[in-house]
Amino acid sequence: MIRNFYDTHFKKLVDGGTSGLAAAESTATAYLDGKPALRGKHKITNSERHAAFWSSNFLTDLPQQAWASEAMTLALAQYMRQERVSNTVMLASVAAVAPDALIRAVRCSGLVLMQHSSRRTELDQLAVSNPAIAELCKVLDIFDVAHRERTAEVLMWQNTLAELSPLELLCYASLHAFEHWVPKRFGQANPSAAAQANRSEDWGAVNDILLWKLADSADDATRLTDAVIGSALAKHLAPFLFPSSSGAPARHDLREAFANLLAAQTEVNSFVAQSADAFSYDNSIEFVRLGDRLEINVLDAASRVAWDRNGRKLSALHNYWYYRAMDAFVDSGMATERIGSPENHELNRVAYIKALRTQLQLTEVYGVSDAVSTDAGDAVPLLQALLSLELMNVFFQRDFLEAFVKHLRSSGDWAMALSMLVFNGLRDGNQNRLPLTWSSRDDKVAKMVGWTVTAVNPKGNPRHAAAIVDFWTSDWSKLATQLRDGAAGSRPELFERPILRMGQTLVQLPWVVGLQNNSTAAINNLRRLGMRRNEARAETQQIEIQLGATLEKRGFKVVLNWNPPVSPDGNAGEVDVICARDGVVLVLEVKSTYLRRSQQDAWRHANTTLRKAGQQLQRKVAAVQLALGNESGLAPKLAQQLEIGAPTTPMYGWIVDTSIECDHQRFGGFLKISLEELLIALRDDRHLLHDPDDLFGQPSQVPHSVPQSLYPQGFSALRLMEVVEAQAVWHGI
């Protein structure tokens, strides 16, 4: 039975000669890895697993060294996070023999924002007789007060806006965006790091507000009709754009309430990201209590610098893929062709290059094929889907944002400028130029057919257009039900799927589509929201195939997806990539994920995916070493494929991940690098990271913007390893 699994596992190891410390760490690792997974044919729940582990006898009287191990500390964090089981005797023992380990576990458990947890009550009881835990509780109390003050402010303004439907709330969000965000951000080609952070904070806050409203609304609030839309606009939008003494008064109180709610939500999010998450997941700092306030001491400045550098890396990679796309655009012959009408040609050309940029990144880094699927399983041509989003971006920028900014410059008043935008749209063919637009799905598909024109379909493809619309659509009725029911699952953020379905009506926000990062939207639409798509597994395999081909171009002999013989220690599992050149063997463990935004996301990635990858690589490197020294079975074939024969061949393992979080850290003793870094190192085109043609308005201050080979003495496996170890690709960033 499950309640005996962990004790049995521990005893078996100890009886076999393993030390108690190593046995405890191995048992904790099994727990962290979700073992056991089944009881017979029945899946074991997390709650059952928690109850079994924390009721295990082997936990009694473990020494300080055992609790201080990484695995046991992470296991303790799981205990602090769960509510199923209580083991106060065990907790008191840990507090007595290893208080530092308990404090670390509390920090990374996220308990700082779970003040009503039963585990917090247990800590308060321990604090009576334990000074270290008492100090921890005082720190948690300060966080609790600060968090409650901020959430109370949010709740107050939510109550003020409780009467509004989701559509009505979108009216005030749109007014706010045109008053504050569009004037500052439209045309800002290269925002500073601070400006990008502010934009991200704003998107996050408005997304949280909309999720609250969806969860708080009745079932029919997300089923729009023409009458519902007309009533909402007449009450909450028209009075600001076309004020009239005989009409409804503008609800300035609600507009100001929305601005206050946005500010309060931004403050909560900032507190969570910069204080609570930093306390929980940033080991480079510590919080020191000075009376009733906290100060931060930096313990590891290098780690802080590395986190900030990741943002610069992402910006540089954005440049890199754009330059790669321009080369692909020229090579395709499209550079000499007119795209669309003469007046739209230049904008369409830029949109096409941007779509190529994202396609290159999705195919080369994430293994995405030429076609992807919607939630319903319909096939979507990838480039057409990406191009459609870029063309939406062009349309809203040109016909909404650019026109609005021109009116704003001439009038000096945002409301008047918005009124002029709407009026001119009505005058020019009865075009909707309101700060939010809507249409039926059929109308949206019909308008998008022209964007699917190809040589094969010169008049466009309605089926592809329909699939593209669905690909970028977030169904708010389903999302609202999911939120109200508290159901698990990934939730689309506003910019990831910017077409909002409300009943039979599709709503779009020009200020979102016109300002968003389309590359991030596409990647997370596929990798975060679409992680369970049928083709997701094939994409991971394609990453390995493409990486193997790139290595072969550099003279490596490559073996993909090799399954080692089962050894007495068990099955090491499939080895993703083995490559050899110049007498050196590299064993690569490939991980494919999505773009993360928070320290919490990065910490979880490090302590789940990457931690397991390190464990897997330990087993796989050992299996490859054994096979290369074995004269029977698969070993001769493997050695022959790799063109090596000596069992003493130098062997190294790398974790190669599609994300850049935790780059150049070690897991299980193995270096973790990003796939993009490795690809750039193999292609030897790092100068594209530095905007060599000054397209993005930030000329490089380092000589790397000029082509300069990483291999001046010629390529070799050892030099590649030096380049990667020294992070030479990122020099100057």
pLDDT digits (tens, 9 = 90+) for 163-185: 999 999 999 999 999 999 999 98
| The pLDDT value given to residue 641 | 67
Rounded Cα distance between 31 and 71, Å, is: 9
Rounded Cα distance between 671 and 656, Å, is: 9
Collapsing DSSP to helix, strand or coil, 244 comes out as: coil
| The pLDDT value given to residue 4 | 80
Query: What is the DSSP secondary-structure string of 555-593?
Result: T-EEEEEE-PPPBTTB----EEEEEEETTEEEEEEEE--
CA atoms in the 13 A half-sphere facing the CB of 234:
9
Which residues partner with 296 through β-bridges?
287
pLDDT tens digit sequence for 256-274: 999 999 999 999 999 999 9
Residue 194 has pLDDT above 90, yes or no: no
- Lookup: tokens for 44: 């074991």
Average pLDDT, the chain: 91
Please compute the mean of the pLDDT values over residues 142-158 and round it to a whole number.
98
| The pLDDT value given to residue 568 | 64
Rounded Cα distance between 721 and 705, Å, is: 22
Please compute the mean of the pLDDT values over residues 492-504 and round it to a whole number.
87
Confidence of residue 644 (pLDDT cuts 50, 70, 90): low
| The pLDDT value given to residue 635 | 64
Strands 437-440, 473-475: parallel, antiparallel or unpaired by DSSP?
unpaired
Strands 437-440, 505-508: parallel, antiparallel or unpaired by DSSP?
antiparallel
Q: What distance separates the 2 farthest-apart alpha carbons in the chain?
A: 94
Residue 387 burial class via C-beta count within 10 angstroms: exposed 0-12, middle 13-18, buried 19 and up: buried
Amino acid in the structure at residue 691 = D
- Which residue in this structure is represented by tokens 């046991």? 72
CATH classification code of 536-730: 3.40.1350.10
Residues ≥6 apart with Cβ < 8 Å to 264? 150, 153, 154, 156, 157
Residue 703 has pLDDT above 60, yes or no: no
| The pLDDT value given to residue 593 | 82
Please compute the mean of the pLDDT values over residues 222-243 and round it to a whole number.
96
How is residue 329 annotated by DSSP? H
pTM for the full predicted model: 0.91
- Which residue in this structure is represented by tokens 């809203």? 396
| The pLDDT value given to residue 670 | 98
Please compute the mean of the pLDDT values over residues 715-731 and round it to a whole number.
97
Confidence of residue 193 (pLDDT cuts 50, 70, 90): low
Max mean pLDDT among 488-492, 504-508, 649-653, 693-697 falls in 504-508
